[in-house]
Amino acid sequence: MKEQILKTIEELKETFYDISQYIGNNPELGNEEFKACEVLTDKLKEHGFSVTTGVVGQPTAFEAVYDSGKPGPHVGFMAEYDALPDLGHACGHNLIGTQGIAAAIGLAGVSQETGGKVYVYGTPAEETKGAKVTMAEEGYFDHLDAAVMAHPSARFVKSGTSLAMDAVQFAFYGKSAHAAAAPEQGINALDAVIQTFNSVNALREHVTADVRMHGIIPEGGQAANIVPDYAVAQFYVRANERNTCDPVTEKVINCARGAALSTGARLEVSNYEYSYDDMKTNDVLSDIFTKQLMELGVPKEEIYDHEGGTGSLDMGNVSHRCPAIHPYIQISSGPISAHTHEFREAALSTEGFKGMITGAKALALTGYEILSNEAVRKKIAEEFKRSFGND
């Protein structure tokens, strides 16, 4: 049946190429990916998937399911398809979305033999307010035996970790006044922002080495001779694990509260993007994926160990609800960095597409192992329980 999976993906390769090119050449920002959502879901429907769009209140999010008609495990493939401002698909999400449906269609063709259900989750806005966060909160992944995806990269890398992250905004409201003629009548909202930054900088001495706190001032006043009555600071707070990130975020918020108190400004705290949990890779599942890559001809020495998370992923939220992996697939023979013009071109190249097809095949074969092997599923589930202290 593995041969049938590979045959199906290979026979549809030109179609998948056209889809990846269409999405790549029609970049759409998060929650605006109407063209991408339509082309992906149309292809899934064509291959027998039942599709529900607009899930979790997001019009470009979807859940697709292929029901074998027999009881069995549930495998979910993640599809991302949002682009970056000005850069287009410089993170390769045109490949991720296509890869997700390619793997699912390949696996669905043999599920009548194995039993179970094959899911595809269309998850818009990964770069900002990732739909996986809301889907995880609403229990969309709780039933899955595994959730899998692979991200484009300069090389093959095993699934690893990512940082938990909170995106907090501090809006300070003061009182305007003439900065020279009557400064005593004003309340300086920008002073509150600056005090917040100073307090956060002092906090750095008292956090663990994995913590990252970095911010900007998107609004700080209109003119130097007017006391700013409105100013805004935005921060990312990150840490290796969610249980470290939460208390640090509260301390950062307290820095802003103190600044408001000292300046007399009124403070409003909000999250300007969704909070991402740390990625907890299921190693049993990861080893299965790596094995499939090697069986597809990727040399063992070209598959690198993950060196530890420095960014944040909404796939992390998925990994807290079910066993999950987020490995990386090589799409370029030369060095490239994400979120650059060079990465965008690699994601549109034939070499990039070849890497994506390799990833799709490895994901589909990983899914087959889950559907067909009860012992494997048991090991995956046991590790997942241990990861959250549920021995």
Sheet containing 164-173: order of strands? 212-219, 230-239, 164-173, 266-271
Amino acid at 60: T
Query: Would residue 339 be called left, alpha or beta, if left means φ above 0 and alpha means ψ between -120 and 50 degrees?
Result: left
Strands (E) across 202-248 are located at 212-219, 230-239
Within 10 angstroms of residue 337's Cβ, the number of other Cβ atoms is 10
Give the pLDDT score at 311: 86
Please answer whether residues 255 and 350 qualify as being in contact, where contact means their C-beta atoms are separated by less than 8 angstroms.
no
Please answer whether residues 115 and 66 qualify as being in contact, where contact means their C-beta atoms are separated by less than 8 angstroms.
no
CA-angle at 343, arms to 304 and 126, nearest 5°: 85
Strand 74-79 versus strand 62-67 pairing type: unpaired
Q: Where does the pLDDT of residue 128 fall: very low under 50, low under 70, confident under 90, or very high at 90 and above?
A: confident
How many residues are present in the chain?
391
**Which runs of consecutive H residues, i.e. helices, occur in 231-340?**
242-263, 283-295, 315-319
Please answer whether residues 96 and 315 qualify as being in contact, where contact means their C-beta atoms are separated by less than 8 angstroms.
no
pLDDT per residue over 151-171, tens digit each?
999 999 999 999 999 999 999
Q: Where does the pLDDT of residue 326 fall: very low under 50, low under 70, confident under 90, or very high at 90 and above?
A: very high
Give the pLDDT score at 390: 61
pLDDT per residue over 253-302, tens digit each?
999 999 999 999 999 999 999 999 999 999 999 999 999 999 999 999 99
pLDDT per residue over 200-211, tens digit each?
999 999 999 999
d(CA 103, CA 138): 25
Using a pLDDT cut of 90, give the percent of the chain over it. 96
- Of 211, 345, 226, 373, the closest CA to residue 288 belongs to 373
Give the pLDDT score at 80: 98
Those residues with Cβ within 8 angstroms of residue 381's Cβ, 6 or more apart along the chain or in another chain: 145, 323
pLDDT per residue over 8-37, tens digit each?
999 999 999 999 999 999 999 999 999 999
What backbone torsions phi and psi does residue 60 show, to the nearest 5 degrees?
-100, 10
pLDDT per residue over 183-192, tens digit each?
999 999 999 9
Those residues with Cβ within 8 angstroms of residue 358's Cβ, 6 or more apart along the chain or in another chain: 293, 296, 298, 329
pLDDT per residue over 70-121, tens digit each?
999 999 999 999 999 999 999 999 999 999 999 999 999 999 999 999 999 9
Question: What is Dmax (Cα atoms) for the chain?
Answer: 82
In this model, does residue 314 exceed pLDDT 90? yes
In this model, does residue 221 exceed pLDDT 60? yes
d(CA 236, CA 170): 12
Those residues with Cβ within 8 angstroms of residue 264's Cβ, 6 or more apart along the chain or in another chain: 174, 187
- Of 282, 371, 284, 274, the closest CA to residue 326 belongs to 282
* Tokens 């890869």 sit on residue: 99
Give the pLDDT score at 367: 98
pLDDT per residue over 339-386, tens digit each?
999 999 999 999 999 999 999 999 999 999 999 999 999 999 999 999
Query: Burial, 209: exposed, middle or buried (Cβ in 10 Å; 0-12, 13-18, 19+)?
Result: exposed
d(CA 280, CA 320): 7
